[in-house]
């Protein structure tokens, strides 16, 4: 009889713990609504099981035999989520994919001006078929370049990527080894803010001494006005050198080149 009462008390504790206050019992794995934020935020969200207006229960999200199993797709059906992800490359209606893009339950949608203000990845672009998580290795920090996969991804596509940029014989595209890092995507975005491939130079002095040994970023060091993380290659280094905060031609010249006029 005592065993039966003990088992009954255990069941009551489990039933009361799920959706209520966390239990202090070491045999329980439910962390409570407030403690659940370590895995997925519940408190104050549409998934808060304490709210009278919600239809969400612990069992809706965790239908398996352990809380480590979760299901998003039963509630967020393909018919509902599919149209909303029509423009998301490599979208998959599967719970692991849902959690990768929505680790905190937020919309996870790319800003509407992603292609213009940040980086072009829409239909018809070089990255049009690339999944969000293929570039953003940490979707919880979508704006941190250290979580981008520019260098590692492109290095896997071309093992000579770094040598092509740093080869002294490459007169139309040259950077110093310290100016490019496959582990730091910010160095990639400086020259490829629009995903463009810079292969030619527009000046008449290209190949003429003494500028044939100059590096791209040695002369061009002014950030773009629309994308401060990128370099403005359209600006004139001679004009840029007049800006107090930039060196431009002053990197090598003691005085700026004379004006054309």
Q: What confidence tens digit (pLDDT) does each residue in 251-260 have?
A: 777 765 555 5
Of the ranges 7-16, 71-80, 92-101, the best mean pLDDT one = 71-80
pLDDT per residue as tens digits for the range 217-242: 888 888 888 999 998 887 777 666 66
State the Rg of the chain over Cα: 27
Could you give the 3-state DSSP secondary structure of residue 57?
coil
Which one has a higher pLDDT value, 24 or 123? 123
Q: Is the pLDDT at 243 greater than 50, yes or no?
A: yes
Percent of residues, the chain, with pLDDT higher than 70: 73
Phi/psi for 97 (5° steps) reads -70, -35
Q: Determine the longest span between alpha carbons in the chain, in angstroms.
A: 104
- The Cα–Cα gap between 30 and 78 comes to 29
Percent of residues, the chain, with pLDDT higher than 90: 16
Q: Is the pLDDT at 65 greater than 70, yes or no?
A: yes
Task: Give the mean pLDDT of 127-155.
Answer: 86
Residue 108 pLDDT: 67
Q: Is the pLDDT at 58 greater than 80, yes or no?
A: yes
Which one has a higher pLDDT value, 245 or 196? 196
Q: Which residues contact 3 (CB under 8 A, 6 or more apart)?
A: none
Contact 117, 57 (CB under 8 A): no
Q: Is the pLDDT at 73 greater than 70, yes or no?
A: yes
**Prior bond to 59 cis, omega within 30?**
no
Q: Sign of dihedral through CA atoms 7, 11, 17, 20?
A: negative
Q: Which residues contact 10 (CB under 8 A, 6 or more apart)?
A: 27
Place of tokens 């199993």: 69
Q: How many CB atoms lie within 10 A of CB 185?
A: 24
């Amino acid at each position: 009889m005592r065993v039966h009462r003990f088992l009954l008390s255990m069941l009551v504790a489990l039933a009361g713990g799920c959706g209520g206050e966390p239990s202090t019992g070491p045999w329980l794995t439910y962390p409570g609504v407030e403690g659940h934020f370590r895995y997925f935020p519940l408190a104050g969200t549409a998934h808060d099981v304490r709210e009278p207006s919600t239809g969400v229960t612990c069992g809706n999200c965790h239908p398996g035999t352990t809380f480590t199993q979760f299901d998003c797709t039963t509630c967020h059906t393909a018919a509902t989520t599919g149209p909303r992800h029509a423009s998301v490359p490599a979208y998959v209606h599967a719970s692991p994919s849902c959690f990768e893009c929505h680790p905190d339950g937020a919309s996870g949608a790319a800003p509407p001006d992603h292609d213009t203000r940040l980086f072009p990845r829409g239909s018809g672009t070089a990255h049009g078929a690339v999944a969000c998580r293929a570039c953003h290795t940490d979707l919880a920090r979508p704006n941190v370049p250290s979580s981008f996969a520019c260098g590692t991804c492109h290095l896997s596509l071309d093992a000579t990527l770094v040598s092509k940029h740093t080869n002294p014989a490459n007169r139309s595209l040259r950077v110093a080894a310290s100016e490019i890092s496959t582990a730091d995507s910010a160095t990639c975005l400086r020259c490829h803010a629009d995903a463009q491939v810079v292969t030619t130079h527009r000046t008449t002095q290209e190949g003429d001494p003494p500028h044939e040994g100059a590096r791209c970023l040695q002369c061009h060091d002014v950030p773009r006005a629309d994308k401060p993380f990128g370099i403005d290659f359209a600006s004139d280094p001679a004009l840029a050198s007049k800006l107090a905060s930039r060196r431009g031609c002053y990197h090598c010249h003691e005085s700026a080149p004379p004006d054309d006029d």
